[in-house]
Amino acid sequence: MLAAQYSGKFTVTNSAGVITLTQVTNGIGGIPVLSVTKTAGGTLTAAATTNTAGAEATYADTYTTYVFGEGAFDFEDIGAEVPYEMNRDPKTNGGQDTLYSRQRKVFAPFGISFTKTSMASNSPTDAELEDGANWTLVNDGNGEYIDHKSIAVARIISRG
């Protein structure tokens, strides 16, 4: 009977007439209070009368993990105003040509769009990128937003 009452919180063992309740998880579960009575025939009966709630352990550190599904990020080559440029230096090595190449690329999470509503310059600062008010779900232009569950990004916060 005790084993059924404390299933998942305590293990109940009986050895040589001694009933032992052992807490299953560290810091979670509580303290059982038993009422033991002796019958006229000498049989001891134990029953749970109360169960004081346990205290969950506190942890100082938490760790944040991000899990990305396939296609979680979109990549675009947005080009540069002057993508290629030549420079000739006639005094180096009997004349040396150098080709400069510029590329501008953007990586963005699929399904989320940066709104640019509160940008101070042409490029957002880290603080502007961190501000959730600057991001919105992608829509089709008519106000129909995609389902947020189709965005293949998950955050897991675990204890240290």
What mean pLDDT do residues 126-135 have?
87
The confidence score (pLDDT) of residue 44 equals: 74
> pLDDT averaged over the chain?
79
Q: How far apart, in Å, do the first and last CA atoms of the chain sit?
A: 37
Buried-state track 38-60, b at ≥16 Cβ within 10 A, e below 16: eeeeeeeebeeeeeeeeeeeeee
The confidence score (pLDDT) of residue 57 equals: 65
Buried-state track 101-137, b at ≥16 Cβ within 10 A, e below 16: eeeeeeeebbbeeeeeeeeeeeebeeebeeeeebeee
- Sequence spans of domains, the chain: 2-52, 62-159
Q: How far apart are CA 90 and CA 96, in angstroms?
A: 6
Q: How far apart are CA 146 and CA 138, in angstroms?
A: 6
pLDDT over 70 percentage in the chain: 75
**Beta-carbon neighbour count of residue 21 at 10 Å?**
20
The confidence score (pLDDT) of residue 149 equals: 84
Q: How far apart are CA 141 and CA 129, in angstroms?
A: 23
**Which pTM does this prediction carry?**
0.42
What mean pLDDT do residues 138-159 have?
85
**Is the model more confident about 53 or about 144?**
144
